[in-house]
Each structure stands twice: as structure tokens, then as C-alpha cells.
Amino acid sequence: MSKNNSKNMIIAALVAIVLTIGALAILNAPDERTAGEHINDAIENLDDGVDDAARELQDRTPAERIQDEYKDATDGNAE
């Protein structure tokens, strides 16, 4: 019984490691948008403010984009 438990724990740990590495790779992937897509995203975000629109012109990883959305959502403004 103990042997199977140890084997399952090792498999679970390996799966967790692989999933963590995969998530890190996805969240740190480079921004592959074209210049036109950057500009289009900036225009779409003009309603949210010039700062948000200007951010769309920069190359940012998905993790950076999530962080910006989190900051925008928790800045205390009602808008």
C-alpha cells in the first residue's frame, strides 16, 4: 500500500511541475501582435483612457497584460 502511495505522490508532483512550467511559458510568451493590431487595440481602449490606450502600443507579455487589468480593476475608481 505504501509503495502505491509513494508512486502516486511522485506522479502527482511531476504533473504539477509540468503544469507549472507550461503556465509560466504561456504567461511569459512574447507579444506576437502586428503593428496594426497594436493600433487597433489602442483605438478600442480609448474609452478607458489615454493611459490604457497607450499601454496597448507596447509589447507586453500576457502576464503583464493580466497585471495591468488587475490594477485597473482594483484602482478604487468607480469607472
Give domain limits for the chain. Answer: 2-73
Output the pTM of the full model. 0.61
Find out whether 45 and 56 touch, Cβ atoms under 8 Å.
yes
Q: How confident is the model at residue 76 (pLDDT cuts 50, 70, 90)?
A: low
Q: Grid coordinates 500576457 are at which residue?
A: 62
Count of alpha carbons within 13 Å of 36, Cβ hemisphere only? 0
Predicted local confidence at residue 78, as pLDDT: 43
Rounded to whole angstroms, how far apart are CA atoms 51 and 70?
15
Rounded to whole angstroms, how far apart are CA atoms 39 and 33?
10
pLDDT at 41 over 70: yes
DSSP single-letter state for residue 48: G
